[in-house]
Amino acid sequence: MFDSIYTKALLFLIIISFFSCVGTKIHDDRFHTFTCKSEWSETEIEICESTSTIIEGSDSTKIIFKKTNLPGQGQAQPLLRTVWRKPKNRTYVVSVQFCNKRNDLCFDILPDSAKTGLVGHELVHVQDYKNRGFFNMLWMGIKYSLCKKYRTRIEYVTDSTTIANGMGYEVLNLLRFVENSGLAS
């Protein structure tokens, strides 16, 4: 199966690209890490950092910011290997949509205010996870993936909380941009 030189070269490339981004070092002295830092502009890093100071508790939570292929615009989840820890001691991953040929509506093309709205929304998810133990989170994950009604309610509450944190303009800009882009599926 692996006898072709092309297959070997392809496997090598896949392994290299996998480890180049996944093996992100989490700093002990800093709360926030940006994977493949070259993918993040100075402004985007600044947006993540300043939004963390708005959503209470986010500036003192270990968070990995990551650009990756997603089914939606953004995603927040605990880092799997830290999921057993006390909620406040876990590391969380906030992912945003990576730009490539398949993802026209990616993080890089959003206006700055929409980026802020998106990061704010994901950080509210993170703060919600911090109130949930392992089994509560597991149960939530099951309901979230199986029940559309529950998913809609969680997203509605998350948007409302983001707006209550003074980010109404940013959330609205994000929704408006996605709606008007003609790129949303």
The contact set with Zn ion (CB under 5 A) reads 155, 158
Distance, in Å, from the CA atom of 73 to the CA atom of 33, rounded to the nearest integer, reads 20
> What is the closest distance, in whole angstroms, from the C-beta atom of residue 70 to Zn ion in the complex?
11
> What is the closest distance, in whole angstroms, from the C-beta atom of residue 45 to Zn ion in the complex?
21
Long-range contacts of range 36-40, CB-CB < 8 Å, 24 or more positions apart? 36/67, 39/67, 39/98, 40/65, 40/67
Q: Would you say 38 or 185 has its CB closer to Zn ion?
A: 185
> What is the closest distance, in whole angstroms, from the C-beta atom of residue 65 to Zn ion in the complex?
15
**What region, left, alpha or beta, does residue 160 occupy, with left being phi > 0 and alpha being psi -120 to 50 degrees?**
alpha
Q: Would you say 26 or 54 has its CB closer to Zn ion?
A: 54
Q: Name the E strands within the chain.
A: 32-34, 62-68, 74-78, 91-97
Bridge-partner residues for 68, per DSSP? 97
> What is the closest distance, in whole angstroms, from the C-beta atom of residue 11 to Zn ion in the complex?
35
Q: Would you say 8 or 151 has its CB closer to Zn ion?
A: 151
Dihedral angle, C-alpha 100, 106, 110, 113, nearest 10 °: -140
Q: Would you say 18 or 156 has its CB closer to Zn ion?
A: 156
Contacts of 83 (CB under 8 A, 6+ apart): 90, 134, 137
Structure tokens given for 164: 């209550």
Q: Would you say 73 or 113 has its CB closer to Zn ion?
A: 73
> What is the closest distance, in whole angstroms, from the C-beta atom of residue 156 to Zn ion in the complex?
10
